[in-house]
A = this chain, B = another copy of it.
């Protein structure tokens, strides 16, 4: 097994941006801006033979002219010039080259040979390469975000590697926007030297990384991928999107990064054996990144449900069944307690529908607590009683002369209801530490209440489908970790 110490890649003291520029629209411009705006803790050296200073930074003609040691060279120049620049980097002891330039292996055999040769020369001299044809990399520890897509996320504990630069960007930024902090990201590009598996291997042992996610087009070494995946999943959830699962998609992948996609069925089997959570698109991946970043794991597949609105309960019950979750019966004790405060018309079973028949604002929370107390209920799914973003949405749509009328629905009152609900949910989460997942329509991105809940380990999703899916994946991973996995036996 090849190993590689990537500590310096993620904790560099200095970085050179080769091809740095300040002209709008250039690769080297946005990469330099991204590195500066990200707040890199070390030194930034722009390299450009035609400039003395770019964006206030002293600029050198070549890496050879930089007086300090350079840990990373980010290369943004045309492909034709890259191999010479790499040689210069080797001479001055650069440790990592991040080659953003395209025009190599993705074009065919000649390009493959060129990048392979360049990688071999570099490796022989202890310089390692990322890319070529990649988007860049980021690291929360050093605040280095050297990206041609200006990919600067919120810092946190999820680490990403992607064989597609676009998807590295999309996943990183949308996850971040939905509150998931990112610890490291790497766009691995054509993988002339360092492979996706090298980054995964580092993430497996990285104490700062708690969740791992990957977009994969092709696996070069199946055995190694399996081994490194098992090392990850022993301690951390590992979520994967596999592109090129169909013949046509695979053909597209081959012209994209020159990788071989392999059989979809084989990949599925690998995922089951290695405890990898395979998802089919990036929004599902982000749903799970949120779940694994914030929620505790359920001890099993038994779900209690409560809502005040029947139709949603019906859909949620359907979704639970669809994703292999169970809805255990309410015990006599639970029934008695619920009967003591719910209106007579409540559903009298799990899912609990408290109905609109009660004006008692605590009925929802008390029902939730009854479910959390019942021993064979291991997680709870509820319709989140969060309303302010809904009313804000409606208000924003009605005509201006009617706005003052709609103000008669007092925003403060609705916000107070939201706040009380958040308080109650957070208390219950702390007290029982069972996963609580809510369905909160219109709330994915906008509501402060939803953000607060998430920071306290309570997840809100837009649909019953998403909520049940996420709960099932949390349960899957718990089973895998306990070693009694359905995955391994199937």
Give A contacts to B, CB under 8 Å: 22, 24-25, 30, 33, 36-39, 55, 102-103, 106-107, 150-154, 162-167, 170, 173-174, 176-177, 215, 217, 241, 243-253, 255-257, 280-283, 309-315, 317-318, 320-322, 327, 344-345, 347-349, 351, 353, 355-357, 359, 383, 390-391, 393-394, 397-399, 402, 405-406, 408-410, 413, 441-442, 445, 462-465
What is the distance, in angstroms, from A339's C-beta to the closest C-beta of chain B?
Answer: 14
Do residues A345 and B402 form an inter-chain contact, with CB atoms below 8 A? no
Q: A309: which B residues are within 8 A, CB to CB?
A: 164-166
Shortest CB-to-CB span from A154 to chain B, Å, is: 6
Please determine whether B283 and A36 come into contact, CB atoms closer than 8 angstroms.
Answer: no
Q: How many copies does the complex hold?
A: 2
CA distance A283 to B102 in the complex (A): 38
**Complex Cα gap A167–B245 (Å):** 35
Chain B residue nearest to A344 (CB atoms) is: B107
Complex contact A310–B164 (CB within 8 A): yes
Minimum C-beta distance from A370 to chain B (A):
17
B280 touches A165 (CB 8 A): no
Q: List 7 A-B contacts (CB under 8 A).
A: A33-B409, A164-B309, A164-B314, A165-B311, A167-B312, A173-B442, A255-B347
Q: Which 4 A-B pairs have the closest CB atoms?
A: A164-B311, A256-B310, A249-B318, A166-B309
Residue contact A163 to B311, C-beta cutoff 8 Å: yes
Cβ–Cβ contact B314 & A281, under 8 A: no
Contact across chains for A103 and B245 when beta carbons are under 8 A apart: no
> Could you tell me if A398 and B152 are in contact, using CB atoms closer than 8 angstroms?
yes
Distance A164 CA – B408 CA, assembled complex (angstroms): 26
8 Å CB contact of A311 from B150, B162, B413 = B162
Other than the given A37-B406, A173-B390, A177-B397, 14 more pairs (CB < 8 A) read: A33-B409, A39-B402, A150-B406, A152-B397, A164-B312, A167-B315, A170-B441, A243-B314, A246-B318, A246-B322, A249-B317, A252-B317, A256-B310, A281-B465
Complex CA gap A391/B170 in Å reads 12
- The complex places the Cα of A320 from the Cα of B251 at a distance, in Å, of 13
Residues of B within 8 Å of A103, CB to CB, are 345, 357
Tell me the nearest residue of chain B to A343, going by C-beta.
B103
- Note all chain B residues with C-beta closer than 8 A to A393: 173, 177
List, in ascending order, chain B residues with CB within 8 A of A150's CB.
391, 394, 406, 409
* Cα–Cα distance between A25 and B408 once the two chains are bound (Å): 11
A463 to B394, CA, bound (A): 26
Max chain B Cβ within 10 angstroms of own Cβ: one of A314, A348, A390: A314
B245 touching A38, Cβ below 8 Å: no
Residues of B contacting A249 in the complex (Cβ-Cβ under 8 angstroms): 314-315, 317-318, 321
